[in-house]
Amino acid sequence: MTTSRRAIPEEALEFRFFRAGGPGGQNVNKVDTAVQLRFDVAGSSLFDDEVRTRLIRLAGQRATKDGVIVITAQRFRTQERNRQDALERLNDLVDRAHHRPKPRRPTKPTRASKERRLVGKAVRAGVKKGRGRVRMDD
């Protein structure tokens, strides 16, 4: 399996096959077409600590407490298509983890933006004031 950054060896991946629900007719009750892909990120030396941390964070609920990413694929009717789907989804995660987010530089609001905010607040206050009780001064 190859990604745009790095190749993950087949030995690092563990596949489990089981029966899937959904479409497939009688075939679904007889054949193990669903795939569960397991990749031990925490125990892998393929990535540096920064990428490993991002990868586990991006995986979210698909990552176990032990740092194993579990991807389940059962969209397709064949085992091979589901296997490819799981590999593609892992590739996407790895590609996104290799992208270092640009650090945010805090900025202060400009004078013009502060003035626009205050003008908007004054307009809104006028609208709300106009909704009050009408007094008859006769």
Q: Report pLDDT for 117.
A: 97
Q: Which two tokens stand for residue 68?
A: 């194993």
pTM of the model: 0.65
- Tell me the average pLDDT of the chain: 84
Q: Tell me the backbone φ, ψ of residue 57, rounded to 5 degrees.
A: -65, -40
Give the residue among 59, 83, 88, 64 at the shortest CA–CA distance from 73: 83
**Residue pair 73/35 in contact by the 8 Å Cβ criterion:** yes
Q: Report pLDDT for 75.
A: 87
- Per-residue confidence at 3, pLDDT binned at 50, 70, 90? very low
Instruction: Inform me whether the pLDDT recorded for 28 exceeds 80.
Output: no
Q: How far apart are CA 95 and CA 87, in angstroms?
A: 12
pLDDT digit string (tens) for 52-102? 888 888 888 888 888 888 999 988 888 899 899 999 998 888 888 888 888
Give the residue among 98, 85, 88 at the shortest CA–CA distance from 55: 98
Q: Report pLDDT for 116.
A: 98
